[in-house]
Amino acid sequence: MKILAVCGSGLGSSFMLEMNIKKVLKELGVEAEVGHSDLASVTPADADIFIMSRDLAGSVSVPCKIALSNIIALGEIKEKLTEEFQKRGIL
């Protein structure tokens, strides 16, 4: 499974989100490839799950996206990933 953190420019905030996703995955005991990208470069084939801030979520058309109100809130990231993993039968 591949998870992609997305931000407007693909630099600082998406990298920070990537690091937070990795922390949450470790807590959950789930293995996944995690990367980061800018909004303009994202295509549906890039990942299985796309995670971004709520303000960007309407700007990209991808199959599975998780919109966050706070990209640095580990609790929100954990909650939303847990929900998605439960839907997929991973947790």
Q: Specify whether the CB–CB gap between 7 and 56 falls below 8 A.
A: yes
Give the pLDDT of residue 63. 84
Nearest alpha carbon to residue 55 among 70, 44, 76: 70
- Please say whether the beta carbons of 40 and 66 come within 8 A: no
Q: Which amino acid, 16?
A: M
Question: Looking at residue 11, what is its pLDDT?
Answer: 76
Q: State the DSSP code for 47.
A: -
Estimate the share of the chain in helix, then strand, then coil, as percent rounded to the nearest 5: 45, 25, 30
C-alpha–C-alpha distance, residues 30 and 25, integer Å: 5
What per-residue confidence (pLDDT) applies to 84?
A: 96
Rounded to an integer, the average pLDDT of 36-50 is: 93
- Round the average pLDDT of the chain to a whole number and report it: 93
Look up residue 64 and give its two tokens. 């599975």
Query: Does the pLDDT of residue 64 top 90, yes or no?
Result: no
